[in-house]
């Protein structure tokens, strides 16, 4: 059996582990267009993508980035093809074509090609000093650019999770940052106004300027160095570094012009198989089941990619396992403030009930969203201690009618839950996301 995996990150690596659990003999080949990185002569073959902002901000060093060692590939007898792009799929011949025209035959193929940064239409994107921020190479290139150009001022286009993580890193390097955000607040995809305001105030206290309801229309630069940006309203901001972080979309490049079906991402069934037999997809590039919305959509978070990679790997190796679905959940610390947002966080329409507690002075915010007495979403800022219980209620779709008044009380805990559900928790029957 020849397994070919495109992508050597959360989804791809989880698939290797699952395949080897079931098939000790088959050949596994992993392709990635990202290179090996050498730290003091030692090769590093993968890295934890969510850590790239900490690398840029010098909170972690390069040697702490990998999450599986070189031995992992040797032990699992994986042939690695790194720094090489898969450019084409030949479905009739069951082959992956690589840059340089090498052809790799497969019996089972996994596409775990991740996401791609969205590039907005901005004049002068090629000015120099303009970067996206999704890869380890981006963090290293930005760092080199900052050093060579002695950057003191930067503009970050986009106030979503990646934009804020980049901002934090730049502020660690004592760079003055202006965030330009099209929406009326930061983190608008997952946070409501109250939650966003806590982070915005914290950013302000750290010296970051935030411009909302606006966008960058032009980047000015000279001699491969940015000099500033022009906003939609004509305002000019001086900056020698511009980071474009307006979003990430599923990477479906490879399956364009093939019969593999896509929507925003690659479409898969409950076994993570595409509409073409023996071709699977997992992680940020695909659309799998959203448990809460009961529809397929991309959920671009690390744990979902790992779980999908695992399930895809099992199915590729012949152990039939169904993907139970997942839901959007972000757990992230911003400006030293821990936050969690899960599911539907600012519901629109009928049938919702919202419970809230907002302590602006102490930057604490808790919000629970219920629909038909079931918890379907939550936001926690600063106090995230019991968030695990609420996410459990969400994924198990527990009827909270009998205890919902207690959900936001100080003493709310496992003991507040119905006895039957507690028994179910102890028995470990809870679906894992
Ligand atoms: C800055 C940042 C911070 C983040 N923070 C968090 C966080 O706090 N929590 C969280 O849950 N998630 C976070 N994420 C999201 C998380 O990193 C992704 O959900 C996860 O990495 C997805 O894994 P994946 O395996 O699907 O794809 P990826 O990690 O994107 O990996 C895909 C791999 O496939 C390779 N590839 C793509 N196309 C080809 C090709 N044609 N040929 C060869 N190789 C190819 C790519 O180079 C890449 O190495 C963050 C992401 C970023 C960028």
Residue 431 has pLDDT above 50, yes or no: no
- Residue range 206-215, pLDDT digits in tens: 999 999 999 9
Measure 95 CA to ligand 1 centroid, in angstroms: 24
Indicate if ligand 1 lies below 6 Å from the C-beta of 117.
no
Give the span between the Cα atoms of 392 and 373, in whole angstroms.
15
Indicate if ligand 1 lies below 6 Å from the C-beta of 35.
no
Measure 9 CA to ligand 1 centroid, in angstroms: 6
Indicate if ligand 1 lies below 6 Å from the C-beta of 48.
no
Q: Given the CA of residue 84, which atom of ligand 1 is nearest to it?
A: 43
Residue 161: phi, psi to the nearest 5?
-55, -45
- Residue range 269-289, pLDDT digits in tens: 999 999 999 999 999 999 998
- The arithmetic mean of pLDDT across residues 356-360, rounded, is 93
Residue 365 has pLDDT above 80, yes or no: yes
- The arithmetic mean of pLDDT across residues 232-258, rounded, is 97
Distance set, CA 280 to CA 90, 104, 108, 285, 313 (Å): 15, 16, 8, 11, 9
Instruction: State the DSSP string of 362-399.
Output: TTEEEEEEEETTEEEEEEEES--TTHHHHHHHHHHT-B
How many other C-beta atoms lie within 10 A of the C-beta of residue 339?
23
**Nearest one of 362, 367, 374, 355 to 421, comparing CA atoms:** 374
Domain 2-116+249-316, classified CATH 3.50.50.60, yes or no: yes
Residue of 6, 113, 309 to test ligand 1 pocket, by largest number of atoms within 8 Å of CB: 113
Share of the chain above pLDDT 70, in %: 98
| Range scoring the smallest mean pLDDT among 254-268, 310-324, 352-366, 408-422 | 408-422
pLDDT the model gives residue 294 = 85
Indicate if ligand 1 lies below 6 Å from the C-beta of 251.
yes
Indicate if ligand 1 lies below 6 Å from the C-beta of 344.
no
Residue of 10, 96, 137, 139 to test ligand 1 pocket, by largest number of atoms within 8 Å of CB: 10
* CATH number of this structure's domain 336-426, picked from the four choices 3.40.50.1110, 1.10.1740.10, 3.30.390.30, 1.10.760.10: 3.30.390.30
Give the span between the Cα atoms of 45 and 223, in whole angstroms.
35
With residue 216 as reference, give the H or E element that holds it: strand 216-222
- The arithmetic mean of pLDDT across residues 38-61, rounded, is 94
Indicate if ligand 1 lies below 6 Å from the C-beta of 10.
yes
H helical segments located in 189-241: 193-205
How many other C-beta atoms lie within 10 A of the C-beta of residue 232?
13
Indicate if ligand 1 lies below 6 Å from the C-beta of 300.
yes
CB 336 within 8 A of CB 202: yes
With residue 191 as reference, give the H or E element that holds it: none
**Nearest one of 332, 318, 320, 287 to 305, comparing CA atoms:** 287
pLDDT the model gives residue 219 = 98
CB 305 within 8 A of CB 7: no
Measure 241 CA to ligand 1 centroid, in angstroms: 24
Distance set, CA 422 to CA 44, 76, 85, 150, 215 (Å): 43, 39, 49, 57, 49
DSSP structure class, residue 281 = E
All CATH 3.50.50.60 domain ranges of the chain, comma separated, are 2-116+249-316, 130-246
Tokens encoding 383:
């106090």
Give the span between the Cα atoms of 203 and 197, in whole angstroms.
10
Residue of 59, 60, 80, 114 to test ligand 1 pocket, by largest number of atoms within 8 Å of CB: 114
Give the span between the Cα atoms of 306 and 301, in whole angstroms.
9
- The arithmetic mean of pLDDT across residues 9-21, rounded, is 98
How many other C-beta atoms lie within 10 A of the C-beta of residue 104?
19
Length of the chain (residues): 433
Indicate if ligand 1 lies below 6 Å from the C-beta of 115.
yes
Give the span between the Cα atoms of 180 and 177, in whole angstroms.
10
Task: Provide the terminal-to-terminal Cα distance of the chain, rounded to the nearest Å.
Answer: 30
Residue 376 has pLDDT above 50, yes or no: yes
With residue 209 as reference, give the H or E element that holds it: strand 209-211
Measure 67 CA to ligand 1 centroid, in angstroms: 14
DSSP structure class, residue 123 = B
Indicate if ligand 1 lies below 6 Å from the C-beta of 23.
no
| Chain centroid to CA 223 | 34
If one compares 153 and 326, the residue with the highest pLDDT of the two is 153
Average pLDDT for the chain: 94
Residue 428 has pLDDT above 70, yes or no: no
Categorize the per-residue pLDDT at 387 as very low, low, confident or very high, splitting at 50, 70 and 90: confident
Quote the CATH superfamily of domain 130-246: FAD/NAD(P)-binding domain (3.50.50.60)
Categorize the per-residue pLDDT at 427 as very low, low, confident or very high, splitting at 50, 70 and 90: low
State the pairing for strand pair 209-211/176-180. parallel
Residue 433 has pLDDT above 80, yes or no: no
Measure 115 CA to ligand 1 centroid, in angstroms: 6
Bridge partners (DSSP) of residue 244 are 157
State the pairing for strand pair 266-267/286-290. parallel
| Chain centroid to CA 315 | 24
Q: Given the CA of residue 165, which atom of ligand 1 is nearest to it?
A: 1
Q: Given the CA of residue 87, which atom of ligand 1 is nearest to it?
A: 41
All CATH 3.30.390.30 domain ranges of the chain, comma separated, are 336-426
Measure 6 CA to ligand 1 centroid, in angstroms: 12
- Residue range 229-242, pLDDT digits in tens: 999 999 999 999 99
* HEC profile of 129-176: CEECCCCHHHHHHHHHHHHHHCCCEEEEECCCHHHHHHHHHHHHCCCE
CB 323 within 8 A of CB 288: yes
């Amino acid at each position: 059996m020849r397994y070919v995996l495109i992508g050597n990150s959360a989804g791809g690596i989880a698939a290797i582990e699952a395949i080897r659990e079931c098939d000790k003999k088959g050949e596994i080949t992993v392709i990635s267009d990202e290179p090996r990185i050498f730290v003091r002569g030692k090769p590093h073959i993968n890295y934890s993508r969510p850590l790239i902002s900490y690398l840029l901000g010098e909170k972690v060093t390069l040697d702490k980035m990998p999450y599986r060692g070189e031995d992992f590939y040797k032990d699992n007898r994986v042939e690695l093809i790194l720094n090489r792009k898969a450019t084409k799929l030949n479905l009739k011949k069951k082959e992956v074509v690589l840059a340089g025209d090498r052809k790799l035959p497969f019996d089972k193929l996994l596409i775990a090609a991740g996401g791609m940064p969205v590039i907005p239409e901005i004049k002068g994107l090629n000015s120099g000093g303009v970067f996206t921020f999704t890869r380890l190479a981006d963090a290293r290139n930005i760092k080199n650019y900052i050093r060579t150009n002695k950057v003191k001022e930067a503009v970050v286009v986009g106030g979503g999770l990646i934009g804020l993580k980049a901002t934090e890193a730049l502020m660690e390097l004592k760079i003055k940052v202006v965030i330009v955000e099209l929406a009326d607040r930061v983190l608008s995809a997952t946070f409501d106004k109250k939650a966003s305001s806590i982070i915005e105030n914290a950013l302000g206290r750290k010296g970051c300027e935030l411009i909302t309801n606006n966008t960058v229309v032009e980047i000015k630069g000279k001699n491969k160095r940015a000099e500033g940006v022009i906003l939609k309203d004509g305002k000019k901001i001086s900056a020698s570094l511009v980071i474009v972080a307006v979003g990430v979309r599923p990477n479906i490049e490879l399956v364009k012009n093939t019969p593999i079906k896509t929507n925003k991402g690659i479409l898969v069934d409950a076994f993570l198989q595409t509409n073409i037999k023996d071709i699977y997809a997992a992680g940020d590039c695909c659309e799998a089941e959203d448990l809460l919305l009961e529809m397929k959509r991309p959920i671009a978070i690390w744990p979902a990619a790992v779980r999908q990679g695992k399930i895809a790997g099992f199915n590729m190796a012949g152990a039939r396992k169904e993907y139970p679905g997942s839901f959007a959940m972000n757990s992230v610390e911003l400006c030293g403030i821990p936050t969690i947002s899960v599911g539907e966080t600012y519901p629109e329409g009928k049938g919702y009930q919202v419970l809230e507690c907002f302590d602006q002075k102490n930057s604490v915010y808790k919000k629970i969203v219920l629909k038909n007495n079931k918890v379907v979403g939550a936001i926690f800022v600063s106090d995230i201690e019991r968030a695990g219980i609420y996410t459990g209620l969400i994924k198990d779709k527990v009827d909270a009618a009998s205890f919902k008044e207690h959900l936001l009380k100080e003493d709310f805990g496992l003991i507040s839950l119905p006895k039957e559900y507690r028994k179910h928790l102890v028995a470990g029957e809870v679906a894992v996301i």
